[in-house]
Amino acid sequence: MELILAIAIGVLTTCGVWLLLRPRTFQVIVGLSLISYAVNLFIFGMGRLRIDAAPVVEGGVIDPANYTDPVPQALVLTAIVIGFAMTALFLVVLLAARGFTGTDHVDGRER
Amino acid sequence: MHMLTDHLVILPILLPLATGAILLFLDDRLRPVKAAINFASTLLLVVLAALLVRHAAEAGQADAVGNATYPLGNWPVPFGIVLVADRLSALLVLLTSILGLCALAFSLARWHAVGPSFHSLFQFLLMGLCGAFLTGDLFNLFVFFEVLLAASYGLALHGSGSARVRAGLHYIAINLAASSLFLIGAALIYGVVGTLNMADIAARVANVADADRGLLEAGAGILGIAFLVKAGMWPLGFWLPNTYAAASAPVAALFAIMTKVGIYAVLRLSLLVFGDEAGASAGFGHAFLLYGGMATIAYGAIGALASQSTARLSGNLVLVSSGTLLAAIGFGNAGVVSGALFYLVSSTLAISALFLLVELVERIRIEGADILAVTMEAYGDDEEEDEEQEVGVIIPGALAVLGISFAICALVLSGLPPLSGFLAKFAMISPMLNPEGLATVNEVSPSAWWLAGLLIFSGFAALIALTRTGINTFWATIAEGPAAVRVIEIVPVIVLLGLCVAMVVLAGPIMTYLEAAATALHAPAGYIADVLAAPVVVDMGAAP
């Protein structure tokens, strides 16, 4: 399971970085989205991978070994929301740049 | 009054948040009302920040008075988020609020009316800045970074236009990538240390297993890159002059503090987590900061000499300021850091004033005079006609004020006596050459020679660049008619520069405060103890 997750994060990051370095704004935004997926999975992985363990602790005396770490899950939730908002904002700027310059090149002019 | 002192630490975050939210609901047709609310709120923020500084100055003086802490939601410390206002944080909140007030006053003349939601974005930017300076939690720092960045995206595009949107596109893409790095770094540190509270991380770093230490340092390094992108260190700062030159004047003036957020994060975390008590990791990254900072100074100084427009010149001076601070942090000496803090305040005030001045100065110049002047220098000056006009030219009042302000800016930024820039450079270079104090004779390290030389060279470069701009602006043929400068536009500039002068007069008490701040930063045990022992309110019945 660790290997699959690590490869998935690696593939997402690789594709994201490659797209981020491309000259078209649409490629850049898809690249940034892929990177943010990779980062979210990475944060999730930092809480250690557990199967069949709940993150929410019940009242009373509990054994922490039966539960998974809830903190990274809360962090991922925050990071997803922020990443989503930022992508939406970037999309607006992207469209504005397209309108102003008449091209979708990141520098606002071809070559 | 008791309530106020109890909650003082969180007020600089809540006040801009509430004001920004209220302003969202007011229609833009009520712009005078919005401006009045915004101005009153920012003025109140200055007062709160001043109270915070006064409170922080008392910390450690009397017995049992530590740094002010505020556990959010009354959660005990390593588990909940905590706000901490030590001397450094309080000082930067005060600096932010003062810059905010001046930039806002300047914008009221014209700029606040050229686009929607200026006032709300302005308050959210202040909230993000104050939050980033006050938080004691790594992930909360990320959230406040995103708040201030989101607001800054909106403000960078304020006024619209092709150039701003193009520069804004690059700015947003770079910062989104940097935010991903921030998350990776924070996650790695959490994965190794198991906590996100900065003081708790610092307390646990020495005990990290050797097998995990590489992972921890990799996390810290990635996190550091994210901060250094924001601070504009070479080679991560190429976005900065473009964005700052494209932004409208009051926004650029406020952005002068945004690079300092990156500097603050580096200063706080590198000295807290990798201070002398960090065991095998002590001093991690300091050499990188020193050499990176020196490269940034050189790049910024050469960039300033090569700049054709005044706005780009100011952007390059921001880089010089960042580089100086990073190199001083990397030098690893409390005396140098206290001088660097003085430099931080003085250079931020002066650069902010310069960004405001640039806009006013551009109005009295002929279109394209920048490029013309540089071309004339390159191909020989053949302006010999106006010789019989030497009878005497009447200097209009506004022009005289602008010229004097520009000269003061140049003196502060190039570090010439008698203004604060000189004191700051002196306060940095003196402990650099005598790290053990003036009484002992010691060998000066090569890096100290290089850094001192670069500091003086960067001042010289700034002097040449600013003098050239000044001559081409104020002693050249100017546009017809009197300079159109309104009082509300020149007063913020005078206030900012007046503070630079005041820093010279009050240099004694200010340096005492900054030396205490730098000493506390280099001995993080006190900070860690204060934060980890942060009291939670026990008797909930007392509060209604």
- Peptide bond before B446: cis, by omega within 30 degrees of 0? no
Q: What percent of chain B has pLDDT over 70?
A: 89
Residue B3: in which H helix or E strand, if any?
Answer: helix B2-6
Q: What is the mean pLDDT of residues B1-23?
A: 84
The token duo for B136 is 């004691």
Are B543 and B537 within 8 A, CB to CB? Answer: yes
For the cut 90, the answer to whether the pLDDT of residue A38 exceeds it is: yes
What residues contact B226, with CB distance under 8 A and at least 6 apart?
A: B178, B179, B181, B182, B185
For the cut 50, the answer to whether the pLDDT of residue B388 exceeds it is: no
The closest alpha carbon to A93, from B159, B125, B160, belongs to: B160
B418 CB neighbour count, 10 Å cutoff: 10
Q: Kindly state whether B418 is in contact with chain A, defined as any CB-CB distance less than 8 angstroms.
A: no
Q: Which amino acid is at B528?
A: I
For the cut 70, the answer to whether the pLDDT of residue A19 exceeds it is: yes
Bridge partners (DSSP) listed for residue B82: B71
Say how far apart CA B419 and CA B511 lie, in whole Å: 15
Bridge partners (DSSP) listed for residue B70: B83
* Cβ–Cβ gap A46/B180 under 8 Å: no
pLDDT number for residue A10: 95
pLDDT number for residue B443: 75
pLDDT number for residue B61: 65
Q: What percent of chain B has pLDDT over 90?
A: 35
Cα–Cα distance list, B173 to A31, A70, B129, B260 (Å): 10, 31, 20, 20
Are B451 and B294 within 8 A, CB to CB? Answer: yes
The closest alpha carbon to B431, from B513, B510, B336, belongs to: B336
H helices of B232-368, in order, are 239-246, 249-255, 258-273, 286-306, 310-331, 334-364
* Cβ–Cβ gap B143/A100 under 8 Å: no
Q: Kindly state whether B286 is in contact with chain A, defined as any CB-CB distance less than 8 angstroms.
A: no
Q: How close A105 comes to chain B (CA, Å)? A: 10
pLDDT number for residue B385: 46
* Cβ–Cβ gap A93/B188 under 8 Å: no
For the cut 70, the answer to whether the pLDDT of residue B380 exceeds it is: no
Residue B66 exposure: Cα atoms within 13 Å on the Cβ side = 15
For the cut 70, the answer to whether the pLDDT of residue B540 exceeds it is: no
Q: How close A71 comes to chain B (CA, Å)? A: 9
pLDDT number for residue A39: 94
Full-model pTM: 0.90
Q: What is the mean pLDDT of residues B85-90?
A: 89
| Phi, psi of A15, deg, nearest 5 | -60, -40
* Cβ–Cβ gap A46/B191 under 8 Å: yes
Q: What is the mean pLDDT of residues A45-51?
A: 84
Among candidates B162, B169, B190 on the partner chain, residue whose Cβ is nearest the Cβ of A93? B169
- For A84-104, what is each residue's pLDDT tens digit? 899 999 998 888 888 888 888
Q: How close A62 comes to chain B (CA, Å)? A: 17
| Phi, psi of B150, deg, nearest 5 | -60, -45
Beta-carbon contacts below 8 Å between A and B: 82
Q: Which residues, numbered 91 to 150 in chain B, qualify as contacts with chain A under a Cβ-Cβ cut-off of 8 Å?
A: 139, 143, 146, 150
pLDDT number for residue B184: 94
The closest alpha carbon to B100, from B265, B251, B317, B311, belongs to: B251
> In 3-state terms, what secondary structure has residue B84?
strand
Q: What is the mean pLDDT of residues B230-251?
A: 87
Are B402 and B485 within 8 A, CB to CB? Answer: yes
Four-residue CA torsion sign, A2, A6, A12, A16: positive
- For B188-240, what is each residue's pLDDT tens digit? 999 999 889 898 888 888 888 888 888 998 999 999 999 999 988 888 888 88
Helices vs. strands in chain B: H and E counts, helices first: 22, 2
Say how far apart CA B223 and CA B185 lie, in whole Å: 4
For the cut 80, the answer to whether the pLDDT of residue B59 exceeds it is: no
Among candidates A35, A47, A96 on the partner chain, residue whose Cβ is nearest the Cβ of B180? A35
Confidence tier at B117 by pLDDT (50, 70, 90): confident
Contact residues on chain B for A36, CB-CB shorter than 8 A: 176, 180
pLDDT number for residue B524: 84
Tell how far CA B313 is from the center of its chain.
Answer: 17
For the cut 70, the answer to whether the pLDDT of residue B394 exceeds it is: no
pLDDT number for residue A111: 66
* Cβ–Cβ gap B184/A78 under 8 Å: no
Of B103-112, B262-271, B473-482, which range is least confident? B473-482
Q: What percent of chain A has pLDDT over 90?
A: 42
Among candidates B161, B170, B184 on the partner chain, residue whose Cβ is nearest the Cβ of A39? B184
For the cut 90, the answer to whether the pLDDT of residue B401 exceeds it is: no
Q: Which residues, numbered 184 to 203 in chain B, qualify as contacts with chain A under a Cβ-Cβ cut-off of 8 Å?
A: 184, 186-188, 190-191, 196
> In 3-state terms, what secondary structure has residue A47?
coil
Among candidates A86, A87, A93 on the partner chain, residue whose Cβ is nearest the Cβ of B157? A93
> In 3-state terms, what secondary structure has residue B39?
helix
Average pLDDT, chain B: 84
Q: Return the higher-pLDDT residue of B318 and B79.
A: B318
The token duo for B439 is 């009484």
- For A52-63, what is each residue's pLDDT tens digit? 888 777 777 778
pLDDT number for residue B287: 87
ipTM for the assembly = 0.94
Four-point Cα dihedral B469, B474, B479, B482, nearest 10: 140
pLDDT number for residue B386: 47
What is Dmax (Cα atoms) for chain A?
65
Cα–Cα distance list, B259 to A32, A64, B291 (Å): 23, 42, 18
Q: Which residues, numbered 1 to 60 in chain A, qualify as contacts with chain B under a Cβ-Cβ cut-off of 8 Å?
A: 20, 25, 28, 32, 35-36, 39, 42-43, 46-47
Q: What is the mean pLDDT of residues B13-36?
A: 88
Q: How close A37 comes to chain B (CA, Å)? A: 10
Among candidates B150, B166, B187 on the partner chain, residue whose Cβ is nearest the Cβ of A97? B166
Are B132 and B144 within 8 A, CB to CB? Answer: yes
Among candidates B165, B170, B191 on the partner chain, residue whose Cβ is nearest the Cβ of A96? B165
The closest alpha carbon to B143, from B132, B159, B153, B133, belongs to: B132
The token duo for B253 is 């003036």
Cα–Cα distance list, B517 to B60, B334, B461 (Å): 11, 9, 31
Of B261-265, B338-342, B386-390, B474-478, which range is least confident? B386-390
Residue A39 exposure: Cα atoms within 13 Å on the Cβ side = 30
Of B299-303, B434-438, B451-455, B493-497, which range is least confident? B434-438
The length of chain B, given as a count of residues: 544
- For B339-360, what is each residue's pLDDT tens digit? 999 999 999 999 999 999 888 8
Contact residues on chain A for B184, CB-CB shorter than 8 A: 39, 42
- For B258-294, what is each residue's pLDDT tens digit? 999 999 999 999 888 887 777 777 778 888 899 999 9
Q: What is the mean pLDDT of residues B322-332?
A: 90
Tell how far CA B158 is from the center of its chain.
Answer: 21
